[in-house]
Amino acid sequence: MTQHPIQATQAPTRIQQNILARSERRVLNWLCERLPAWVTPDQLTTLGFFGAVLVAAGYMLSWIDDEWLGLSLAGYIVNWFGDSLDGSLARWRRIERPAYGYFVDHSVDGLAIVLIVGGIGASPYFRLDVALFGAVGYLLLAIHTFLSAKVLGEFRLSYMAGGPTELRLMLMAMTMIMPLVGGGTVLGTDFSAFDIFGLVVASILTTLYVVQSLATARLLARRGG
């Protein structure tokens, strides 16, 4: 059987237009310049995933005591540090491995988001089905991003001026008010205030996926591709 070697592909153009992009880039560059030489991008990817584990654990342990939500908040910071710096460090040191880095980073990201959202759904404040609807919306939009990177050569890191960092901050703010609002149902429904918020966010993500997919399909059709 003839085996074909894996062909190196050109890295897609990164498009990042979220609100905090410029400020975050300055912080990441400052950190990259000061990280010890022994720190590697793979170690940072692992650290980011460990942060997602902490987030999920904090939410699940909040059944015991609300103070465990502090573990989730710390986990978001660890996740941001590792997830945002792994690729940044590789580019800073000019040691990129485009195919390997792209595959490993986004494979780990997919599992991390399932852990985080699953942890939210396993908390006393969210229904699991609502949380999983949010995960579906996020992963659909991620699929669109990966497909666009292939067919358009554009890797979009933000939508509606928001990206992963803004999403983390939104989830951190939600986590801080969870003990204040509680997980009781509202408006005579079986949903908590956080469930309703989650349904709105999930609906926006899913709508973005549909709109962006249709727009990309029309663009490709006009190009005859």
Q: How many helices (H) and strands (E) does the chain have?
A: 7, 2
Distance of CA 100 to the CA centre of its chain: 19
Q: How far apart are CA 59 and CA 172, in angstroms?
A: 12
Which residue has tokens 């040191």? 93
Three-state SS for 14?
strand
Tens-digit pLDDT profile for residues 22-39: 899 999 999 999 999 999
Written as tens digits, the pLDDT of the chain (225 aa) is: 444 444 445 667 877 788 888 899 999 999 999 999 999 999 999 999 999 999 999 999 999 999 999 999 999 999 999 999 999 999 999 998 988 988 999 899 999 999 999 999 999 999 999 999 999 999 999 999 999 888 888 888 778 778 889 999 999 999 999 999 998 988 888 899 999 999 999 999 999 999 999 999 999 998 876
Q: Please provide residue 13's backbone torsions phi and psi, each rounded to the nearest 5 degrees.
A: -70, 125
Three-state SS for 8?
coil
| pLDDT at residue 10 in the model | 62
| pLDDT at residue 225 in the model | 62
Domain boundaries of the chain, sorted by first residue: 15-223
Which residue has tokens 């005859």? 224
* 15-223 is classed CATH 3.40.50.1470: no
Query: Residue 66 has what DSSP assignment?
Result: G
Q: How far apart are CA 56 and CA 175, in angstroms?
A: 12
Tokens linked to 97: 């491995």
Secondary structure string (H, E, C) spanning 136-200 = HHHHHHHHHHHHHHHHCCEEECCECCECHHHHHHHHHHHHHHHHHHCCCECCCCCCEHHHHHHHH
Q: How far apart are CA 221 and CA 197, in angstroms?
A: 36
| pLDDT at residue 117 in the model | 95
Q: How far apart are CA 1 and CA 173, in angstroms?
A: 55
Of 46, 45, 54, 163, nearest in space to 119 by CA = 54
